[in-house]
Structure 1
Amino acid sequence: MNRIANIAVVPALRSRNYRLFFFGQGVSLIGTWMTQTATIWLVYKLTNSALMLGIVGFSSQIPSFFLAVWGGVLVDRFNTHKILVIAQILAMIQSLVLAVLALSGTIHIWHFIILSLFQGVINAVDAPARQAFVPEMVEKRDDLASAIALNSSLVNGGRLVGPAIAGILIARIGAAYCFLIDGVSYIAVIAALIAMRLKPKKIVVTTANPLQRLQEGFVYAYNFSPIRSTLLLLALFSLMAMPYVTLVPIFATKILGGDARSLGLLMAASGVGAIGGGIYLSTRKTVVGLGKIIALAPALCGTGIIFFSLSRMLWLSTLMSALIGLGSILTISSSNTVIQTIVEDDKRGRVMSLFTMSFLGMVPFGNLFAGFSADRIGATNTLLIGGSFCIIGSLLFARQLPKLRQAARPVLQQRGILSQTNT
């Protein structure tokens, strides 16, 4: 096993614990994306409403906006590994309940809303825990950037395979089986987590109450400009770009004249672009240059969204979906890597909870805006607005980049990453 680890092309896979996580989570994420595809398809089929698509999307993500920061406090104070195991078990239960309701033919739109809220609460703790757990799984700090990027590749590998399988299953035997497969797939990641051999986590003992610790995390992130600016850009990107996923069923059916297979194709194409970007980032050996990628990637995604909204040909829409996936993964994963590299270890959980709030926490408002806007001015105009804001955000971040590099330089020098850096 050590020989295999030593010859691994991807640095992060040299770590046994990370290999376990990688393969277990890889199986589970295919199921997760199957459920997401089946959910938006069933919601649209039940209601034929863009607004309801937005409301369900809002329900699944709004807990992250309000609760993720408290999830970060929990992660900094308690055993991250145990938190993740409990979160995966609860998520498995949620998917199996969806499966039972769908298979019995008793599922209604309010079920989706309630269960989406429940999943959102789980994600509010699971997401910062997952981000903070990466350094615990990786044996060498030099492999951290590779692990973070590979994590994103993993998510989008599921995004590639899951929707494609879901599209076929929905068309042939129904969406309920997507939920069932998802529920069963959680066994893989739970087993992987249990099989890990981890060093005891060093938890800083403090007399500060949770509110004080929460405030400390906010102040630290706000006062350190590289983290602050990256989180702000990510929040704008999540607000304006991520609702693309919510509106895809409208484009697949009404605009492009397709069916569930078309929806699966478009979402899988986004996964192709994302996994390509993730593979590129996972093979990088340094954080140097990620600042430029963060500045460019939202504009790349925004351009894809604009052309996707104007396309009336499936092949072009598929190509633009791949570009959107590429821009998305470069934005999210590069931001994650930079923040994880420069954040102080004792504040990692809280800062990564702010990352979760900026990333997942803004998505519900974007979904609600997208659903409401698509009902009023159409899905095409809604995406045109979102894509344009992504490009504007890129331009504003690019203007700040030289100052952000200077602010990050002392931290990177102190940690021995570089003596001269262009982060």
Structure 2
Amino acid sequence: MLPPRSTATDSLLRHPAFVAFWFARIASGFGFQMLSVAVGWQIYAITGRAFDLGLIGLVQFVPSVLLALPAGHVADQFERRRIVLLGQVVEWIAIAALAGMSLAHGIHEAGILLLVFVIGIAKAFEFPALQSMLPALVPARMLPRAMAVNGSAGQAAMIMGPAVGGFLYVAGPGVVYTTCAALYLVSIVLMARLRYEQAPPKREPATLESLFAGVHFIRRRPDVLGVISLDLFAVLLGGATALLPIFARDILRTGPWGLGLLRAAPAVGALLMSVWLARHDMQRRVGMIMFASVAGFGVATLVFAVSTALWLSLLALFALGAFDMVSMVIRGALVQLDTPDDMRGRVSAVNAIFINTSNQLGEFESGMLAAWLGAVNATVLGGVGTLVVVGLWMAMFPSLRRRQQLHVETAAREEPAADIL
């Protein structure tokens, strides 16, 4: 039996703050995806060294991990909308600098990496504040659909942003950066005009106890710990997308066009699933639905691993993206709804560490296993590992397995934040 569809009364369009938030996410998401393409092309054109492409990821990864806990503390101490605004203004300045230096032909590798590092610092502070804003923009019962719609903005940006960026790069990197700056400016204006109500934050000094309050909170909430750790290990083991160039060339015998389709397939699956989730409520057995979707992710990984036909590989990656979107919406909504508002920044920061670590280490783990065992065996092992993790987590977190609804009125109020510290 399908979950009920949303009605006009429940429509997210009736919440103008969320609509403005969503359009701001679309603008900044497209801008960032286009920026990523331009930075990679420009650095490789300047140096011709693959190592320097790795440095782009490094200068973004380091601040995202090292500054996550302080950023979470800041998000719980100050108005989150202003934190997001400040972060985007800093990013806009850095992008405008990239545009100006590129158009003036006065840019070099160190300058690009330094500005990308600045963007990484700003994003480290922006992320937990941005994640913590969403529950205040819609009623709690609508949060899963709001997260699905929000996720659709990110997936659309991932699909079309790089293509648009690559097309504009023909006219030069300065044109791409200028377009990115314009999109960020749109996001800044929308965010500045957004009506956001937040309870006055409880100011407290930045001590080790307050910085690690999010960690302590998660440890004392089995359901929250279960979904965050499940995401970590599932992504860590199921990182088949990192090996797509090998599968495209050596196994599927296709060219760059085929690789492009393979890269787009998970995002297309996730985008279409997010559209479906935005129109339907998940009101029963959300725990089992989440575990089933992660298991589906593992099965799709196995199908992709053994496939030798492009159409089947595309179908498997499409399903992989769709299953991942279901589990992502459930995990994200559950974490936000089970967390008191004055703790959401710090909990989101810890979640960001898990996400960034799993993505980066997942690619590293996939590469190392592929070097030792071959791409097919490494991907098969990742898919089997994901299924094993699902089984273990279902046994280790029985309350999460039995969870019926995302929104439990007493869950976020069982224990005040002050008692957790």
TM-score clears 0.5 = yes
- The 5 A counterparts of 1:233-252 are 233-241=230-238, 243-249=239-245, 251-252=247-248
Shift, 1:14, TM fit: 1.8
**Alpha-carbon distance in structure 2 between the residues aligned to 1:136 and 1:121:** 25
Query: Given residue 76 of structure 1, which amino acid in structure 2 is its aligned partner?
Result: D
The residue number in structure 2 matching 1:327 is: 323
Q: Contact 1:167/1:260 (CA < 8 Å) preserved in 2?
A: no
TM (norm. structure 1) is 0.80
Asked if the contact 1:70/1:214 (under 8 Å) is kept, the reply is yes
Q: How many angstroms apart in 2 are the aligned matches of 1:135 and 1:13?
A: 16
Matches for 1:255-294 after TM superposition, within 5 Å: 261-286=257-282, 288-294=284-290
The aligned counterpart of 1:187 is 185
Aligned to 1:203: 201
1:72–1:129 Cα contact (<8 Å) kept? yes
In 2, the alpha carbon distance for the partners of 1:50 and 1:374 equals 19
Identity of aligned residues (%): 26
Q: Decide whether aligned partners of structure 1 residues 263 and 155 sit closer, same or farther in structure 2, where only a CA change above 3 A counts.
A: same
CA offsets, 1:59-118, max 9 Å, x none? 433432332122111100011011101111222344445556666778777666555544
Once the 2 structures are TM-superposed, how far is the Cα of residue 220 of structure 1 from its aligned partner?
A: 1.6
Specify the alignment match of 2:229 in structure 1: 232
Whichever residue aligns with residue 140 of structure 2, its letter is R
Q: Distance in 2 between matches of 1:309 and 1:48?
A: 32
Relative distance call for 1:239 and 1:395 in structure 2 (3 A) is same
Partner in structure 1 of residue 125 of structure 2? 125
State how 1:251-400 maps to structure 2 within 5 Å: 251-252=247-248, 261-286=257-282, 288-374=284-370, 379-400=375-396
Q: Distance in 2 between matches of 1:210 and 1:235?
A: 27
**Cα 1:204–1:360 shift into 2, 3 Å:** same
Q: Figure out how many residues of one structure are paired with residues of the other and give that number.
A: 408
Shift of 1:178: 4.5
Matches of 1:353 and 1:149, distance apart in 2: 20
On the 8 A contact 1:306/1:388 being kept in 2, the answer is yes
Provide the C-alpha distance between the structure 1 equivalents of 2:378 and 2:109, rounded to a whole number of angstroms: 24
SS at match of 1:320: helix
Question: Residue type of the partner of 2:266?
Answer: S
Report if the CA contact (8 A) 1:41-1:249 is conserved. Answer: no
SS of match in other structure, 2:70? helix
Distance 1:105 1:304 in 2: 46
Contact 2:269–2:318 under 8 Å retained in 1: yes
2: CA distance between counterparts of 1:123 and 1:375?
Answer: 33
Unaligned runs of 5+ in 2: 1-5, 413-421
Query: In structure 2, do the counterparts of structure 1 residues 359 and 265 end up closer, same or farther at CA, with 3 Å as the change threshold?
Result: same
Q: What is the alpha-carbon distance in structure 1 between the residues aligned to residue 384 and residue 41 of structure 2?
A: 27
**RMSD after superposition:** 3.8
Worse overlay, 61-70 or 272-281: 61-70
Please name the residue that 1:155 is paired with. Answer: 154
Contact 1:20 1:196 in 2 (8 A): yes
Q: What is the alpha-carbon distance in structure 2 between the residues aligned to residue 47 and residue 314 of structure 1?
A: 34
Deviation at 1:366, TM superposition (A): 2.6
Kept in 2, the 8 Å contact 1:149–1:279? The answer is: yes
Pair 167,323 (structure 1): closer, same or farther in 2 beyond 3 Å? farther
Contact 2:228 2:354 in 1 (8 A): yes
The CA distance in 1 between the partners of 2:245 and 2:106, in whole Å, is 23
Deviations 1:321-373 (A, max 9, x none): 32222122222221011111111222111111111111123322233434555
Cα deviation 1:180-223 (Å, max 9, x = unaligned): 433321122111101112335421244x5432212332212101
Tell me the alpha carbon deviations over residues 289-316 of structure 1, each in whole angstroms, 9 at most, x when there is no partner. Answer: 3212321222322333344344454433
Q: Is the 8 A contact 2:26 2:154 kept in 1?
A: yes
> Unaligned regions of 5+ residues in structure 1, if any?
1-5, 417-423
